[in-house]
Structure 1
Amino acid sequence: MNGIRFTKWFAIYALLISVVVSSCQKDESVKDMETTKPVTAADSTALGIINTPGNFLAGKGVLKITIEDSTYTFDAGTDSIAFINVHNSDNKYFGITAINKAHTMSFGISSEGLASASINSKVAGSQFLFTVDEKKPLLQYTLTKFVGKDDSGKITIDKYNKDNMIAKGTFFTFLAKDDKENSPFYRVEGSFELQLK
């Protein structure tokens, strides 16, 4: 059980690290491109997840997430949204990560297996973090283990890696604000339509 949980958290951690690296590449006002290149190369070599086949930084498109009657939107024109594939030994995961330009909101969702068109795959991990205000600086929603063994949600991909389209689809999952058995959890629904340019 702990091994499975570690693998899920490793996948989400790897997805979020890759989008942070990608967002630093995209946000030219934070660092000069020349100073970013050596760090990015070292990070991508160590993580093995940035410049490998099947990993894409969206140049156009949106990711929408609805939770607790609020909808949040990441726009690839200004924010960093990545669709990535992670290979950890024999385990394979794919997922979407996003961080807004202001670095006040990030989201990640992953599934076991390989990404492809016309699939409906079980959610393996998910996390949604954002800054609320100065009094409560961080709100964190994570995948809850208390909804039931087979009820973690689904990621549906309608289109994948064809022409200019990276991926298009929908997802739903269940996230909670903490990891206690009686904590309320919320159904999260979302959609994505990500293009290269």
Structure 2
Amino acid sequence: MAAASSCQKDAAVNNPDPTTTTVSADSSAVSSPNNFLAVSGTLKIKFNDSTYTFNAATDSIAFINVRSDDNTRYFGITAINKDHSMSFGISSAGFPYSNINRAIAGSQFIMSADAKQPALQLSLSRYSEPKSLGNINVVQYNSAKELAKGTFYTFMARDDKANSPYYRVEGTFDLQLK
């Protein structure tokens, strides 16, 4: 079993265009409405025989809500560790709220020893059996100090070809605002 953790949060991300969103590590809220940077808590991902952990105290973990150009709404979790050697993202269509179970719309898991050559890169597989992309179960969302708490599973592959092997990836999240 392996455990990986850490991602130094930048003090601030300064964008050249003042209309773009900036993120402050000292704030629990990302400038865009309903996007939140977790201040504490964990995101754990189980893949094969290993568990990978992101810790919000040192890594960057955000719970996001986005609207696409066609007004479709998505929510999800995105994380990157302190060393920038591991990142993970998962999303579902719709709005987040407590006690929901939704189908996965997208997922990606990347690990690398250096930024130029990923050692492992997995993304959502449309060819898993049974024909499920997985689910995200949000038990608690945006109440008191709790940002989001729940579980998920999804099926990921190295590429999106019908004969590519796919892997079940599952995890838990327990993220706090304060």
3-state DSSP of counterpart to 2:141: strand
Find the aligned partners of 1:150 and 1:114 in 2 and give their Cα distance: 23
Equivalent positions of 1:91-110 (< 5 A) are 91-110=72-91
1:58 aligned residue: 38
- Encode CA deviations 1:71-117: one digit per residue, 9 max, x unaligned: 10000000000001001132000000000011110000000000000
Task: Write 1 or 2 for the structure with the bigger share of strand.
Answer: 2
Structure 2 counterparts to residues 1-197 of structure 1, below 5 A: 26-28=9-11, 33=12, 36-39=13-16, 41-44=18-21, 50-88=30-68, 89-132=70-113, 137-147=118-128, 150-197=131-178
Q: Percent identity?
A: 53
RMSD: 2.4
Q: Which amino acid is 2:133 matched to?
A: S
Partners in 2 of 1:134 and 1:59 — Cα distance? 26
Partner amino acid, structure 1, of 2:163:
N
Residue identity matched to 2:89: G
Higher helix share goes to which structure? 1
Q: Which residue of 1 aligns with 2:25?
A: none
Structure 2: runs of 5 or more not aligned: 1-6, 23-29
Q: Is the 8 A contact 2:39 2:57 kept in 1?
A: yes
Cα distance between partner residues in 1 of 2:17 and 2:107: 25
**TM-score, L = length of structure 2:** 0.83
Gaps of 5+ in 1: 1-22
Report the TM-score, using the length of structure 1 for normalisation.
0.76
